[in-house]
Amino acid sequence: MNYSPQLRIPATYMRGGTSKGVFFRLEDLPEAAQAPGPGRDALLLRVIGSPDPYGKHTDGMGGATSSTSKTVILSRSDQPDQDVDYLFGQVAIDKPVIDWSGNCGNLTAAVGACAIRLGLVAAERIPDQGICQVRIWQANIGKQIVAHVPMSGGEVQETGGFILDGVTFPAAEVQIDFLDPADGDGALFPTGKLVDSFDVPGEGTLKATFINAGIPTIFLRAEDLGFDGTELQTVINSDAEQLLRLERIRAHGAVHMGLIKHVDEAAGRQHTPKLAWVAAPRDYTTSSGQGVSATAIDLNVRAMSMGQLHHAMMGTAAVAIASACAIPGTLVFEAAGGREQASICFGHPSGTLKVGADAALVDGHWGVNKVSMSRSARILMEGWVRVPVE
């Protein structure tokens, strides 16, 4: 029997924020994968090593967590006043599914640097020293993002002293501005309410803030779930019944938001919406053993990603947190003390994160003009990824 040689595809393996992913230039992909569809999905699933019933990604580039099972496709943008188109695919670990329904805010921090390295940003826009403002068109949700990428000697500066909780080593700071971050063309509050109620079998009626900012997100009060907002991965992810419960709540919330028509559809849309719970500040110890004082934060937030409690905080969920916290009356605003603030610092399982949002009430409707946060990014490996032809 004859076997075909493996495909050899140029790729860059990058950390962005608290995530890692495999980055491709669109034109470097095989022709069958240059357009959306089964061919593209099959290729990227094999790159990551999914589906893997062992849950290890041993035969792929994935890291067997929602934070490390990610793919990115970049191309020079045809959008006016944009530099690069950024398409994100969240790869399921144990299912043959890639979810293209939303953005990855963490990997956004790596997009600017990668686009510069791949020649997707016009040379005249790249300073020899200082900050390169890379204008990113987030193709999944049709939104603009600006990455402020530090440059030194005409090259992206990746090393530095910026510490990001959830990342072990320091790196250069990259400021990210999410412009008009309401997800897609829908309303910021899809149900028209700052706080809504929805029914979940076995749970009764739950209060929630449903918001489309950064990524569709369902915010609940920690106390309504029997939590206190200081939960770590070891507590939640080791409890199979708790995970099923939280997924059931997420599925019913997705129906209430209008993202799916029936709860059964949630299994094929694991990336969105996110489910998070909020609580007033409370002392806790992070997953790395670091102590966080209640006086150092404005609220605690925990969020689920691809069926597991996230080890830190998704960048897109941080956009949702900042947006909801800037609008009086939401559950997030109330958890943060019920006072207007230009920026807030929230606690997550790995530490803290500061975010800021510019929100305004116009003609009786709330809108968010911009959300800003700082992340970091670094190239881990560059060259080619090998993919068996099947």
Q: What is the pLDDT along the chain (390 residues), one digit of tens a residue?
A: 678 889 999 999 999 999 999 999 999 999 999 999 999 999 999 999 999 999 999 999 999 999 999 999 999 999 999 999 999 999 999 999 999 999 999 999 999 999 999 999 999 999 999 999 999 999 999 999 999 999 999 999 999 999 999 999 999 999 999 999 886 567 899 999 999 999 999 999 999 999 999 999 999 999 999 999 999 999 999 999 999 999 999 999 999 999 999 999 999 898 899 999 999 999 999 999 999 999 999 999 999 999 999 999 999 999 999 999 999 999 999 999 999 998 999 999 999 999 999 999 988 889 999 999 999 999 999 999 999 987
Tell me the domains of the chain and their CATH numbers: 7-181+377-387 (3.10.310.10), 196-370 (3.10.310.10)
The amino acid occupying position 92 is: A
β-strand pairing of 196-200 with 204-213: antiparallel
β-strand pairing of 143-152 with 155-156: antiparallel
Per the confidence metrics, is the pTM higher than 0.85?
A: yes
- Please, what's the b/e burial string for 110-130 (b: 16 or more CB within 10 A of its CB; e: otherwise)? bbbbbbbbbebbeeeebeeee
The residue count of the chain comes to 390
CA distance 355 to 17: 14
| Enzyme catalytic residues | 104, 314
Reduced to 3 states (helix: H, G, I; strand: E, B; else coil), residue 376 is coil
CA distance 114 to 23: 8
Per-residue DSSP letter, 171: B
CA distance 27 to 324: 38
Per-residue DSSP letter, 93: S
The phi, psi pair for 334, rounded to 5°, reads: -65, -40
